[in-house]
Structure 1
Amino acid sequence: MDTSSQPPHQVYLNGDQIYTCSGCHAHLARNEDIISKGFQGRHGRAYLFKNVQNITLGPKEDRILMTGLHSVADISCTICQSVVGWIYIYAFEESQKYKEGKYIVEKAKISKENLWIQKE
């Protein structure tokens, strides 16, 4: 069976506050999966997420980031292949270990979808 012509499998997230790929609007993450909004990406502000969907991983590489040396892999949207951030695979400094297995998603690469009602 030739699978090259089939569209990639896509996960649809439930919830009122969903972040999507700004390029193709594939669901990427839920607002409640944000750990922090105080991160810096290549293109400005970025969010640290505990879960992200509809992504593929690029090759692992060591990068010196603002908080030290980390092993990371870029993450791309499964649908349009746009790089939206990276995953922390390994943190060399003990104080940064909490990032391992977590995702950085750049604010410039995502859009808000569904009912973003301000919660009081």
Structure 2
Amino acid sequence: MGLILTDFFEPRSYDVEDTEVIVCDGCLAHLCLSSLVLSDQFWGLSGDAFLVDRLINILCEKQDLETSMRTGVYIINKIRCLQCSTKLGWHYKKSFKYSEYYKEGKYVIEKKYIRQIPNHSSTARLTEQAKLLKRRRSSASTTSS
């Protein structure tokens, strides 16, 4: 069985060099950009976690779970990596407490199951590298002729 088609964010999303890429610790599939982290003060079953606005390359389980947490009762769906099925956290589907409505539609990813890597692929940097390689190839072909 081959890999499932992997999604990436829009190229311009990677342009900010201090933005880190959050990836699955199991297979390094892109999950999120650090600019989409809303809070790093969340807690998951395994410890520290991030609250994030958007994720890619995940599988959201269909089963709705009513779960009691420190801040109230929620309906959640567990999430896994689309590539390797590593458990990652959960998706807040519904909050029963008005003060916690801001979590609805957001995701919690546990730090134990992810890795943050530097963003070395800004579009501007890749364009410059491509131009440099093109010049090298063209100068190499003229000297060898």
Q: Percent identity?
A: 29
- 5+ residue gaps, structure 2, are 121-145
How large is the Cα RMSD of the aligned pairs? 1.4
Q: Rg larger in 1 or in 2?
A: 2
Shift of residue 115, structure 1, vs aligned partner: 3.7
Is residue 11 of structure 1 aligned with residue 14 of structure 2? no
Aligned residues: 112
- Structure 2 counterpart SS, 1:80: coil
Is residue 64 of structure 1 aligned with residue 38 of structure 2? no
Shift of residue 66, structure 1, vs aligned partner: 1.0
Shift of residue 114, structure 1, vs aligned partner: 2.7
* Structure with more of its chain in strand, by fraction: 1
- Cα distance in 2, alignment partners of residues 49 and 97 from structure 1: 14
- Cα distance in 2, alignment partners of residues 68 and 9 from structure 1: 37
Shift of residue 21, structure 1, vs aligned partner: 0.2
* Structure with more of its chain in helix, by fraction: 2
Is residue 28 of structure 1 aligned with residue 24 of structure 2? no
**Alignment TM-score, normalising by the size of structure 2:** 0.73
Shift of residue 12, structure 1, vs aligned partner: 2.3
- Cα distance in 1, alignment partners of residues 119 and 87 from structure 2: 26
Runs of 4+ in 1 over 4 A off after TM superposition: none
- 5+ residue gaps, structure 1, are none
**Alignment TM-score, normalising by the size of structure 1:** 0.88
Q: Which of residues 35, 57, 65 in structure 2 aligns to 1:54?
A: 57
